[in-house]
C-alpha cells in the first residue's frame, strides 16, 4: 500500500504516519519525491486498522499497490531509477555498457579486455571469478585470485567491476573487490543469496532465470529491495523455449514491459541471449532500439581459446564495431551510449 502525503507535509506528520504503519505490523519505506513524500507500507495488506491511516494528519491518499512486487513497482516510484556504481551509470539518458570475458582466466587476458573496454568507450568491466557451470568438470573460475585480477584491472583503467557471486557465504568477499554483484540466471531464485545481496552495500545486477516468468523475476528483485539495497539493475539474458537455433530465446519485449511496471533499469545480455558471436551486435542494436538501459556483452582477446563461452564472445575489433553501431542507434533514440557520469 502507498501512503501519499500532502504537498509540503512536515517531518512530524511523516514520522507519525510511519509510526502508524509500524503499529499495523507493516514495514514503512519512506520515499522522498521531488513533489511530495510517499510511504510504502510493505507486508500483508489485509490487516485491520488500515482505514485509520487515511485520517492521520498530512495523509492525502492511501492506495493499494496492485502488483505482487511492491518496492519494485512504478506505482510506488513513478520516476525511473538511475543506478551508478563507479564508472557505470545505467538508466534515463545513459545506456551503460558492461563488457569483458565470461571468465577471468589470466592477468594478461583480463587486462587486455579492460583496456579494450575502455578504448571502445564502454562503462564497466565484467568477468566471472566464481563461475556457476552446468557441468562440474568445466572451468569453475579463479575465485579470489580472479577477484584480485579484476581489482588490478580497475586500478589500471578506472572501470567499475561487475562480477558474479554464487553463494551467500561469498557476498562479503566478492563485495571487497566488486562494484556490482551479479546474480546469475541459475541463482535468480536462490532466496538466501538474494537476501544476502539485499544486505550488501553494493549495487546488484539480477539476471532473469531461463524459466522464470516476469512476475517471478520482479519478485526476486523485490527480495533485494526488501533487504534494504535499492541499487538493483534487472538483466534479460534469454529464456528457454523449444527453439534450438539460438542458445536461449532473447525476448526484447521484456524491456518495455518491465519499464512500464517497474522503476528499475533493465540491461540486456545479447551474448547469453543468442549464444552466437555473429548474432550479438544485431541484438545489441535491437535492445537499444527497444529502450534498454544497458548492455552486458562478452568479449575475449582470442574467443577460440576462451575457457568458457568463446562461441558467443566478440573479439576486440568486433566489439569496437558493435559500440560504433550501437552509438548510432542510441543517438536515434536520444540517449548516450557508454560512459556518461
Sign (positive or negative) of CA dihedral 192, 294, 113, 308: positive
127 binds ligand PEP (CB under 6 A): no
- Which range in 74-82, 183-191, 311-319, 321-329 contacts ligand PEP by CB under 6 A? 183-191
- Verify binding: residue 272, ligand PEP, rule CB under 6 A: yes
| Contact footprint for Mn ion (CB under 5 A) | 102, 309
Residue that the C-alpha cell 522503476 belongs to:
263
Q: How far apart are CA 100 and CA 114, in angstroms?
A: 7
User: Is 237 near ligand PEP (CB under 6 A)?
Assistant: yes
Closest CA to 146 of 163, 133, 159, 134: 163
* Alpha carbon distance, N-terminus to C-terminus of the chain: 34
Report DSSP state, residue 299. B
> Cα dist. 290→15, 130, 224 in Å?
41, 31, 26
Distance of closest approach, residue 261 Cβ to ligand PEP, in angstroms? 21
Listed residue (107, 88, 110) closest to 300, CA to CA:
110
Query: How many of the other CB atoms lie within 10 Å of CB of 140?
Result: 17
Stretch that binds ligand PEP, among 142-150, 180-188, 275-283, 324-332 (CB under 6 A): 180-188
Does 270 bind ligand PEP (CB under 6 A)? Our answer is no
184 binds, among ligand PEP, Mn ion, none (CB under 5 to 8 A by kind): ligand PEP
Q: Among ligand PEP, Mn ion, none, what binds residue 207 when CB lies within 5 to 8 Å by partner kind? A: ligand PEP
Pick from 28, 184, 275, 338: which binds ligand PEP (CB under 6 A)?
Answer: 184
Residue nearest to ligand PEP (CB): 184
Cβ-based nearer residue to ligand PEP, 132 or 227: 132
List interacting residues with ligand PEP (CB under 6 A).
Answer: 102, 128, 132, 184-186, 207, 237, 272
Amino acid at each position: 500500500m502507498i501512503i501519499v502525503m500532502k504537498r509540503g507535509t512536515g517531518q512530524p506528520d511523516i514520522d507519525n504516519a510511519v509510526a502508524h504503519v509500524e503499529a499495523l505490523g507493516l514495514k514503512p519505506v519512506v520515499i522522498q519525491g521531488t513533489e511530495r513524500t510517499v510511504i510504502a507500507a510493505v507486508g500483508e495488506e489485509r490487516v485491520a486498522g488500515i482505514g485509520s491511516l487515511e485520517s492521520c494528519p498530512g495523509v492525502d491518499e492511501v492506495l493499494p499497490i496492485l502488483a505482487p512486487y511492491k518496492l519494485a513497482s512504478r506505482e510506488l516510484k513513478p520516476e525511473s531509477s538511475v543506478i551508478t556504481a563507479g564508472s557505470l551509470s545505467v538508466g534515463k539518458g545513459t545506456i551503460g555498457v558492461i563488457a569483458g570475458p565470461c571468465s577471468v582466466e589470466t592477468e594478461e587476458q583480463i587486462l587486455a579486455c579492460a583496456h579494450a573496454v575502455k578504448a571502445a568507450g564502454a562503462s564497466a568491466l565484467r568477468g566471472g571469478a566464481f563461475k556457476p557451470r552446468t557441468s562440474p568438470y568445466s572451468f569453475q573460475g579463479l575465485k579470489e585470485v580472479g577477484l584480485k585480477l579484476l581489482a588490478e584491472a580497475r586500478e589500471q583503467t578506472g572501470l567499475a567491476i561487475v562480477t558474479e557471486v554464487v553463494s551467500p557465504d561469498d557476498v562479503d568477499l566478492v563485495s571487497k573487490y566488486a562494484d556490482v554483484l551479479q546474480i546469475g540466471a541459475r541463482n535468480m531464485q536462490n532466496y538466501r543469496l538474494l537476501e544476502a545481496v539485499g544486505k550488501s552495500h553494493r549495487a546488484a545486477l539480477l539476471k532473469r532465470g531461463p524459466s522464470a516468468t516476469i512476475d517471478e523475476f520482479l519478485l526476486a528483485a523485490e527480495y533485494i529491495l526488501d533487504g534494504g539495497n535499492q541499487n538493483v539493475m534487472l538483466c534479460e539474458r534469454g529464456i528457454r523455449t523449444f527453439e534450438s537455433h539460438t542458445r536461449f530465446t532473447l525476448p526484447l519485449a521484456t524491456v518495455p514491459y518491465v519499464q512500464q511496471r517497474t522503476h528499475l533499469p533493465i540491461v540486456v545480455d545479447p551474448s547469453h541471449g543468442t549464444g552466437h558471436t555473429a548474432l550479438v551486435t544485431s541484438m545489441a542494436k535491437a535492445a537499444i532500439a527497444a529502450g534498454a538501459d544497458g548492455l552486458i556483452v562478452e568479449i575475449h582477446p582470442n574467443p577460440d581459446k576462451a575457457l568458457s563461452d568463446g562461441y558467443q564472445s566478440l573479439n576486440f575489433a568486433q566489439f569496437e564495431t558493435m559500440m560504433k553501431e550501437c552509438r548510432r542507434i542510441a543517438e536515434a533514440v536520444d540517449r548516450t551510449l557508454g560512459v556518461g557520469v
